[in-house]
Structure 1
Amino acid sequence: MTTKNLLVELFVEELPPKALKKLGDAFAGVLFEQLKAYGLTAADSVLTSFASPRRLAAHVTAVAAQGADKAVSQKLMPVAVGLDSSGNATPALLKKLQALGTDASAVAGLKRAPDGKAEALFYDSTVKGATLTEGLQKALLEAITKLPIPKVMTYQLADGWSDVKFVRPVHRLIALHGATTLTVKALGLEASNMTEGHRFESDVKAFAIREADSYEAQMLEQGKVIASYSKRKAEIAKQLAAAAAIVGGGVKAIDDDALLDEVTALVERPNVLVCEFEKEFLDVPQECLILTMKANQKYFPLLEASGKLSNKFLVVSNISPLDASAVIQGNERVVRPRLADAKFFFDQDRKKTLASRVAGLDKVVYHNKLGSQGERVERVRAIAKAIGQQLGGDALAQHADQAAQLAKTDLVTDMVGEFPELQGTMGRYYALNDGLSAEVADAIEDHYKPRFAGDDLPRNDVGVVVALADKLETLVGMFGIGNLPTGDKDPFALRRHALGVIRMLVERDLRVGLADLVAGATPVFGDKIQDASAALVDFIYDRLAGSLREQGYSAQEVDAVLALRPQYLGDVAKRLAAVRAFAALSEAPALAAANKRISNILKKTDGVDAHVSELLLQEPGEKNLYAAMQQVAPQASAQFEAGDYAASLQTLAALRAPVDAFFEGVMVNAEQADLRLNRLGLLATLHHAMNRVADLSRLAT
């Protein structure tokens, strides 16, 4: 079967830049999968997607003009329903055959085959393969329907009466199989071989694509468009590096893949230009300047080798004039008011201290059930003081209290009002301007950390304490009023806050218990919330379990360790390592099974006292187990208390033989009550000794 390459293009008005890459990948991907489902592609067919601000396109190699015929076996009905007692077709069967386009002559060729408990009739036929025009028509409509469109718009077609819903108005449709135009329709358009190039720099307004394989080259040569998203992105990155090298001094364009993606989606023919602004603006914190250049103007700031901002920046223009001076001057003129605003906000904000802004937080609503930001700050202060006292005494508590009191005050500054992303960052600058210590200033900036997966932790103890307090206040408050995450909805980022708490407790190995933290944070809310401590602790342990599984620990290992609800989360990694080492021992399966058996026995009794009377030990099996425990348990306990969990479990492995002998030779539920209770006490003592690191019964298969 001969094949040709296929090209499909939608020529549209400017697409939303932040969605362009997803739209391009989805359009090409669904189209390819649909063509494959219709049997129109080959095993070695290759898909290439194109996406620019004004087009979505797909190129597929080795596409057939018609799919191969398919043999189909279709179940009709049970034999008892389709044939009467004489073996003749029933009216029901004849009606079914008629619906399939055949008649009674097909009855003799029907096959019988088991279908569950009864036999059924099957009709074998050959379905003719879909033509490319038929298959592409359906594939194209499916690809359009499944596009991840962020916001649909409705627009009128050329007839003035009909309207269509799509991400942006579509003006042309191309469908080429080799050099042949296919007669398909979509969004009120009929396919042709005509498209348009760059809005300003194309050789002609519209031009014909000669064949599917010439599309990319023609778009570049005639249309002045780099149609491939990935190639355009690579070209921009290359030009950014080259422009930075021309500036010299070791400067580099800021590394921001999200910005690079967005700019790639804004231009069709990138041309990187070097611009600059007045050096006086460098007196403003560079985070402000970088943010306004990136967020508002889509510029690439240049950083010196030291990380300090340069007064030069790079612009990715969508045009390439012979004299670019007008473009450069225009961009410099546009950015200047933005930087001037930032300088004005910075200068004005520094006229008031952070301490003088604390009262202003009473006017900022935090949550209608939890009060203002001012009330929230007081709760965070109380939690921070308690944690600081526990971790570092009076000095840490005092510094944490001061940082917590001022941490939110930059929310009422002009700069953060204009650029909310700078909250915390500006607080640090203003704190240093007020003469506060670097320790407190850093904590003000860092108390939002970690803000996302992989983010840094606060850089000092004060920051850790305030960050813990801030996240705990959010978690306890939201759980206390019933604002819990559901499914994929988590408007208050409680999962992220929980992971932040976990990371600080684990990575800083803080000797403070999780349940104690939650219990200590609850009373500061007074009667504003219900006590949801137990649910919150479970939620945090669930987040921890998921995080540990993502790190490569097995569900069984995680379950065994977290079943004990270890209070010091910094110990969890050591416990997991110990469990993994224990599981590799030859004694592990038998001891895990024995632990499971002991757990089941103890569950059936009411509060057995973990006490053993040596005088009541009668059978050799219980005497030997008791003697072995007297020798092994103290050593294992000492190792556990020293934090050597692996050695503790290794020591306990020596109990395998006496434990096996006990269950082989001793009747636990003896008729004599004192013997029965003593044996249960022996098992309870054993259970306690063996399950301090982890619940070993969870390792039983």
Structure 2
Amino acid sequence: MTAKNLLVELFVEELPPKALKKLGEVFAQSLATSLKNSGLAAAGATVTAYASPRRLAAHVTAVAAVAADKPVVQKLMPVAVGLDAAGNATPALLKKLAALGADASAVPGLRRENDGKADVLFYESLAKGATLAEGLQKALEAALAALPIPKVMTYQLQDGWSSVNFVRPAHGLVALHGSDIVPLAVLGLTSGRETHGHRFEAAVDPVRFDNADEYAAKLATDGAVIASFAERRAEIARQLAVAAARAGGKPIDDDALLDEVTALVERPNVLIGEFEAEFLAVPQECLILTMKANQKYFPLLDAAGKLTNQFLVVSNISPADPSAVIGGNERVVRPRLADAKFFFDQDRKKSLESRVAGLAKVVYHNKLGTQGERVTRVAAIARRIADSLGGGALTQHSEQAAVLAKADLLTDMVGEFPELQGIMGRYYALHDGLAADVADAVEDHYKPRFAGDSLPRGMVGTVVALADKLETLVGMFGIGQIPTGDRDPFALRRHALGVIRMLAEGNLDLPIDKLLNSVFAQFNGIEGFQLNIDALADFVYDRLAGSLREQGYTAQEVDAVVSQRPQRLGDIPKRLAAVRAFSALPEAAALAAANKRVGNILKKVEGSVEANVEHALLKETAEVALHAALVDVVPLADAAFVTGDYTESLQALAALRAPVDAFFDGVMVNADDPALRANRLGLLAHLHAAMNRVADLSKLSA
């Protein structure tokens, strides 16, 4: 039978807007995958997902009415069990065949095959292909079960007795194969060819489809609905750009808001509203957030990125005279902006410093005390870091910023909009007359908040951000709150990456181990606090290794550098560049292999091996030559290392290839004479230390 295109639509009450895009994608893909797996849809069938506030739908091309029959091979039992000595079927075999719908007549056609242990009987049959009604019923049920529903609700069906569970009450089901209805039943609904369009602007109701292929076009003309999420989103973006240009501004760029608004409207119509200019005295972050979060408006910015007193509304209706819609939205937004202004005015009546004492009443963690206690620790850590970086005004401003950094948590504005923590702290710090770098640090100590976020804009902000993140890392590790594979409730991975970025990109002379021990010292006296510094350092270096691999460095290059646990992270790019340059040398592979061999030899020695060599005990020509080469090369490599020229330091080692190869070809390390053996091991220890200052070159060995 000729394949036809298939349409399935589930008509429901308004779906959760933040989940709609994902719901539409999963519904269509799950439905199509099930049809392909059952042989009803071709592997290359085109799947089109539709999702609007009141519907989930999928269009699948080339769907058959009946799937092709499939050959099935079923393993029965060993020949010795299924057939007697005369070759006749045993009762066990006959019973098994009967369960499969066959009888004794199938015995001669059974296939024999050895499975590696014994000869086994196999039954070959032809499974009848599923009909579209059967396959689509299962596919639809599977698609509904696969939906990532945020929260399920239970509702009664029209009979008043039965109830079903779904994300929202469902009111209609369309299932068309070409022009034919496919009989289905889910959620108390039976399939048909009718749906409903826009609540107010549909040209006809219900909207009737004659075939599967006219779905999107007819829903647009008769139902006044743009069914495709992607097309509706693109249309909103287009209208936003046009309206913004007409108003002389640009809409705020927010993909999440655009997705959410796309999930709220079926027929978008962008309108321009405005509010009183006096509200612009409030920090624009507050106004933007309240318009986006509470009203789903797109604030308009001027060419300099400054907020204007106009905003864009994405309406779901298109009246001939939009003034009533615009006026209604302007009336609704005004109290929101007035609240923001009130909070801002009230908050400025108290200084940030006066709020610090109140942090002693705010619980941070039941095992780590209050926010007040945490602020004390962060301030002490910041003071130590700043002292290490030069002290003076940096220490004074860093400590002051650390003390004030969390004070805005007690303001009305942050209480209403937690997303503004830090941002409002900066505004209030400037209002209090504090230095600009202190105010900036109050905001920036949360940075970087996410991958790709900017770093703190000044050294004071960097110091406080480091102190804040290190306090969190050490504190949470000390009470056993260590991230697992799928859980990281305190975002410790993000904090570790933030520390890494600030240390590396800022090229700060702050050794990791010294830094962690300094932070650990601030937790003395906390009951039950136990920290494994090495485990925390491993966690940081693991994040570092992952970050470097994401930047394009090879696993070998990263392992060679990170395995040495370099203390100064600002040196890592230079170390990696040196390793990459060394790897390109013709001597690299041989030296890496030799380094690995030396490391294995030294690991097998009981106790430590000192890198001491007595010249009088060098008997073989090759060991004399290797020692002489080390005497020549190591000072050059070390001098380059000290100046930070890691590439030159590794390049100098290339001269060791010939004497190293000759040594392993002509010298027995484990000599019978203990003195000779110890001296040769000391020579290898000297070689190993010289080769691994920049990176562990053995990691470059294949």
TM-score past 0.5 threshold: yes
Aligned partner of residue 522 in structure 1, secondary structure = helix
Residue of structure 2 aligned with 1:381, choices 364, 379, 382: 379
Query: Using the alignment, how far apart are the partners of 1:387 and 1:116 within structure 2?
Result: 68
Q: Distance in 2 between matches of 1:151 and 1:392?
A: 54
Output aligned runs, 1:219-230, within 5 Å: 219-230=219-230
Question: 3-state DSSP class of the match of 2:525?
Answer: helix
Is residue 113 of structure 1 aligned with residue 113 of structure 2? Answer: yes
Q: Secondary structure at the match of 1:311?
A: strand
**Residues 563-602 of structure 1 mapped to structure 2, 5 A cutoff:** 563-602=563-602
Q: Per-residue displacement from partner, 1:415-455 (whole Å, max 9, x unpaired)?
A: 11111100000011111111111111111110000000000
Equivalent residue number for residue 410 of structure 2: 412
Partner letter of residue 583 of structure 2? Answer: A
- The separation in 1 between residues aligned to 2:462 and 2:551, in whole angstroms, is 23
Secondary structure of the 2:524 match is: helix
Q: Structure 1 residue 187 and structure 2 residue 184: aligned?
A: no
- What is the deviation of 1:589? 2.0
Is it true that 1:537 corresponds to 2:537 in the alignment? Answer: yes
Cα offset for 1:159?
A: 1.1
Supply the distance in 1 between the matched residues of 2:79 and 2:576 (Cα, whole angstroms): 60
Contact 1:476–1:532, Cα closer than 8 Å, also in 2: no
Q: What's 1:32 paired with?
A: 32
Q: Which amino acid aligns with 2:677?
A: R
Equivalents in 1 of 2:552, 2:484: separation in Å?
Answer: 26
Corresponding residue number in structure 1 for 2:213? 213
User: Which amino acid in structure 1 is aligned with residue 280 of structure 2?
Assistant: L
Q: Is 1:464 aligned to 2:462, yes or no?
A: yes
Alignment partner, residue 650 of structure 2:
649
Aligned partners of 2:441 and 2:470: how far apart in 1?
A: 16
CA-CA distance at 1:116 after TM superposition: 2.1
1:341 to 339, 342, 365: 339
Paired residues of 2:282 and 2:341 also in contact (CA < 8 A): yes
Amino acid in structure 2 at the alignment position of 1:379: R
Deviations 1:454-497 (A, max 9, x none): 00000000000000000001111111111111222111111110
Q: Is the 8 A contact 2:426 2:439 kept in 1?
A: yes
Match of 2:683 in 1: 682
Which consecutive unaligned segments of at least 5 residues does structure 1 have?
Answer: none
The aligned counterpart of 1:700 is 701
Q: Distance in 2 between matches of 1:351 and 1:302?
A: 30
Q: CA RMSD in A?
A: 1.1
SS in 1 for 2:319: coil
1:27-176 equivalent positions in 2, closer than 5 A: 27-176=27-176
For the pair 1:513 / 2:511, whether they are aligned, the reply is: yes
CA offset digits 1:618-637 (Å, max 9, x no partner):
11010000011111111111
CA offset digits 1:386-435 (Å, max 9, x no partner): 00111122221111001101111111111111111000000111111111
2:389 is paired with a residue whose SS is: helix
Structure 2: unaligned runs, 5 residues or longer: none
Offset at 1:10? 0.3
Rounded Cα–Cα distance in structure 2 between residues aligned with 1:159 and 1:78: 55
CA deviations over 1:216-247 (Å, ceiling 9, x no partner): 11111111110000000000001101111111
Q: Distance in 1 between matches of 2:44 and 2:143?
A: 21
1:402 aligned partner: 400
Q: 1:553-610 CA distances to partner (integer Å, 9 max, x unpaired)?
A: 2222222211111001111222222222222322222212211111111112211111
User: Which residues in structure 2 correspond to 1:274-289 (within 5 Å)?
Assistant: 274-289=272-287
Alignment of 1:196-207 (within 5 A): 196-207=196-207
- 1:552 CA displacement: 2.2
Specify the code of the residue in structure 1 equivalent to 2:624. K
Residue 232 of structure 2 aligns with an amino acid whose one-letter code is: R
Separation in 1 of the partners of 2:115 and 2:552?
44
Contact preservation (8 Å) 1:12, 1:168: yes
Which one-letter code corresponds to 1:657 in the other structure? Answer: A
| Amino acid corresponding to residue 548 of structure 1 in structure 2 | L
CA contact under 8 A between 2:36 and 2:43: conserved in structure 1?
no
CA distance in 2, matches of 1:505, 1:114: 64
Residue 473 of structure 2: which of 472, 475, 488 is its match? 475
Q: Tell me the distance in 2 between the aligned counterparts of 1:638 and 1:627.
A: 18
Q: What amino acid maps onto 1:550 in structure 2?
A: E
- CA–CA separation in structure 2 for the residues paired with 1:532 and 1:384: 22
In the alignment, which residue of structure 1 is the partner of 2:609? 608
Task: Give me the whole-angstrom Cα distance separating, in 2, the residues matched to 1:650 and 1:121.
Answer: 67
1:545 alignment partner, SS class = helix
What is the one-letter code of the residue matched to 2:376?
Answer: E
Q: Greater shift after overlay, 63-72 or 233-242?
A: 63-72
Relative to structure 2, which stretch is displaced further, 606-615 or 204-213? 204-213
Q: Secondary structure at the match of 1:158?
A: coil
Q: What is the distance in 2 between the residues matched to 1:27 and 1:81? A: 48
Farther-moved stretch of structure 1 (63-72 vs 577-586): 577-586
Q: Quick one: which of 361, 366, 370 aligns to 1:372? A: 370
Q: Which amino acid aligns with 1:557?
A: E
Q: Is 156-165 or 381-390 further displaced after alignment?
A: 156-165
Contact 2:5–2:177 under 8 Å retained in 1? yes
| Displacement of 1:59 | 0.5
Which residue of 1 is the match for residue 632 of structure 2?
Answer: 631
SS of aligned partner of 1:58 = strand
Aligned 8 A contact 1:358 1:406 in 2 = yes
1:425-504 to structure 2, matched below 5 A, reads 425-504=423-502
Aligned residue identity for 1:46: T
Distance in 2 (CA, whole Å) between partners of 1:513 and 1:500 is 16
- Structure 1 window deviating more from structure 2 (390-399 vs 217-226): it is 390-399
CA contact (8 A) 2:207 2:219 kept: no
Mapped contact 1:17–1:265 kept (Cα < 8 A): yes
The alignment partner of 1:670 has SS state of: coil
Figure out how many residues of one structure are paired with residues of the other and give that number. Answer: 699
Q: Which residue of 2 aligns with 1:622?
A: 623
Bigger mean CA deviation after superposition, 84-93 or 270-279? 84-93
Preserved contact between residue 448 and residue 454 of structure 2 (Cα < 8 Å): yes
| Shift in Å, 1:532 | 2.7
- Mean Cα deviation higher: 556-565 or 148-157: 556-565
User: Identity percentage over the alignment?
Assistant: 71
1:43 deviation in Å? 4.2
Distance 2:583 2:96 in 1: 62
Q: Distance in 2 between matches of 1:38 and 1:50?
A: 23
